[in-house]
Structure 1
């Protein structure tokens, strides 16, 4: 097999394409022939040793992928060779094959392409857990989605609409705002050219959003939190903006508002039954056309460095998926 290997997590430029022995699955494991892998912001951080999950080098990055089960080890009953699966791997996606614990494999819904399979599980799983579980979003409430044109952002727009909410999508360009309107956002804010507090006040009649979905962090966090509604829920999803904000806690007191952490990976590990219920709902929404991954573009796996550069330059709209030759 071939894979992009990280020997030293000093950055994505250090990844090397190498030929390595194709591994055999051990007890409780399965080997997957990878067909498509998506690129997520944590995949950049992992290669910089800046993510909360720090694999031991050498490792193959790539946290989200889809493929076909080739072989299974002893004791594996949930999948068999030939099954089409999505993988919650943490690592392994940027190679031609991956051996993972069989419990991390999720059957692909009927009719789903490998490209969608590689772009679905992490973004939609994270977002459903964030909005409906951690945020307790109710029909008729208003959601502000920051970074709304990205992978998790587009998922948040779609899931919030499926849940019956009003969606305000905030993004950094007019083109990204237009995309958000196309996939269902009720209103948009270009935070590069508009004052986000003034825009939120106008769009909510001074009330503010009930739920804020924030995968961005950075300088936007405080002005947005100052605009949140009474009993609002501020969902801390990630820090794609680069900085981890320090919010004045008196704002939480004055607004009666909650700052809510979202760690989907640990949710999957700690609450597997709840995760399975979420999967059933997502599969139903996908079949109904209520949620569909927004595809930025597909690229050959050999172009991983160019894909990283595109994401690092914030050019990705929706999901960027890497395909095997």
Structure 2
């Protein structure tokens, strides 16, 4: 069972920046009749966490009001579970739950298991944490929201980040041609090792013209689909063919300040622009989200997905602010993973070598 106190990052009021974070001693999560209690072995900071702590995320208006323990993505070992649960004490699991920047987290599984999955065969907890909910988000965005088809070209913005590296692999597994947009040569090299042939740097002026030139070489006027997790809809539309689709999954590059887009651009391109909000979709359509998770897990079990764990090592709850800083300044390739406690899972066999 959990101790009477644990280390965690408690948000008692919204902060100006992650530099103000404090490590606290807090009570462990409450355990109910439908509760899965998990000892966290690893956690992975995301841009959502940076927005949550500052009160800049749309969920701060409703779900995420102080006080709360920060953190969402985790992997760990089940400590206790309801009698009806398929997870038993000692099982290694990963998923998403509020309060992951701590030593323990609890998940209400009374309405299903969409937020928690068993660690895939041959994966460590660290690798599963590095993939996290990004796999289901990206599969749902590409397969369900964008209706990506075999042979189409998908442009992945922020392709070197946690969502992007998984989206590239999913698109490749679906038989699509992928163009990745990244910020530096190191991230480009990782994508090429994953099988992404075309990589464009967004730090170069007019990078959208480079994308269009790549498509012109193939006799096409633009890409079929844009996967946008950074908040660059106007650039997405410039790269899109007539009648193409843009799927928006987040705004990692915007620090809470939203882009304004001329609607005439959508009309002139005959474009479809759809937002894919994974958490809300799961609340409204749990059966669809369960199926999305299942399809992604099949990809993972079949070896089509490899975790991309950033090479820097972080240890303990006290090191989470440093990982958030590296994420904030865009040093991280793939996902930064913080080791919270020892992991009993297998030797690393499936991660991308950086």
Q: TM-score, normalised on structure 2?
A: 0.86
Instruction: Give distance in 2, aligned partners of 1:23 and 1:257.
Output: 46
Q: Of residues 54, 69, 84 in structure 1, which corresponds to 2:78?
A: 69
Separation in 1 of the partners of 2:281 and 2:132?
14
SS of equivalent to 1:319: coil
Contact 1:171/1:189 (<8 A) preserved: yes
Three-state SS of the structure 2 residue aligned to 1:250 is helix
Quick check: 1:143–1:165 contact (8 Å CA) kept in 2? yes
Match of 1:60 among 50, 62, 69: 69
Matched, 1:98 2:113: no
Match of 2:51 among 40, 45, 51: 45
Aligned to 1:88: 96
Q: Does 1:324 align with 2:346?
A: no
Q: Assess, with a 3 A threshold, how the Cα gap between structure 1 residues 266 and 324 changes in structure 2: closer, same or farther.
A: same
Report deviation, 1:194.
Answer: 4.7
Q: 3-state SS of the aligned residue for 1:85? A: strand
Deviation at 1:277, TM superposition (A): 2.1
Aligned to 2:157: 146
Rounded Cα–Cα distance in structure 2 between residues aligned with 1:70 and 1:224? 45
Question: What is the deviation of 1:15?
Answer: 2.4
Q: Is the 8 A contact 2:237 2:269 kept in 1?
A: no
Indicate how the Cα distance of structure 1 residues 98 and 193 shifts in structure 2: closer, same or farther if over 3 A, else same: same
Structure 1, unpaired ranges of 5+: none
Could you tell me how far apart the structure 2 residues matched to 1:252 and 1:179 are? 33
Partner of 1:292: 306
SS at match of 2:291: helix
Residues 25, 72 of structure 1: 8 Å contact kept: no
> Following superposition of structure 1 onto structure 2, how do residues 1-325 of structure 1 map, counting pairs within 5 Å?
1-10=6-15, 11-54=17-60, 55-72=64-81, 76-89=84-97, 91-102=98-109, 103=112, 104-205=115-216, 206-217=220-231, 220-242=232-254, 243-297=257-311, 298-301=313-316, 302-325=318-341
Task: State the alpha-carbon separation in 2 of the partners of residues 94 and 223 from structure 1.
Answer: 34
Q: Which has the higher contact order (CA 8 A, sep 6+)?
A: 2
Once residues 105 and 179 of structure 1 are traced to their aligned partners in structure 2, the CA distance between those partners, rounded to angstroms, is 28
Aligned-pair distance for 1:66? 1.0
Once the two structures are superposed, residues 137-196 of structure 1 have per-residue CA deviations (whole angstroms, 9 ceiling, x without a partner) of: 000001111111011111111011000000011111222222211112120111212522
- CA-CA distance at 1:50 after TM superposition: 0.8
Q: In angstroms, what is the RMSD of aligned CA positions? A: 1.7
The Cα shift of 1:118 comes to 1.3
Query: Is the CA contact 1:27–1:76 (under 8 Å) kept in the aligned structure 2?
Result: no
Contact 1:7 1:15 in 2 (8 A): no
**Deviation by residue 1:100-142 (Cα, 9 ceiling, x = unmatched):** 2124332222222111221223111111011111000000001
In 2: Cα distance, 1:268 partner to 1:226 partner: 31
Secondary structure (helix, strand or coil) at the match of 2:226 reads strand
Structure 1 residues 287, 30: closer, same or farther in 2, change over 3 A?
closer
Shift of 1:31: 1.2
Distance 1:105 1:174, change over 3 A: closer
- The size of the alignment, in residue pairs, is 321
Find runs of 4+ consecutive structure 1 residues off by over 4 angstroms: none
SS at match of 1:27: coil
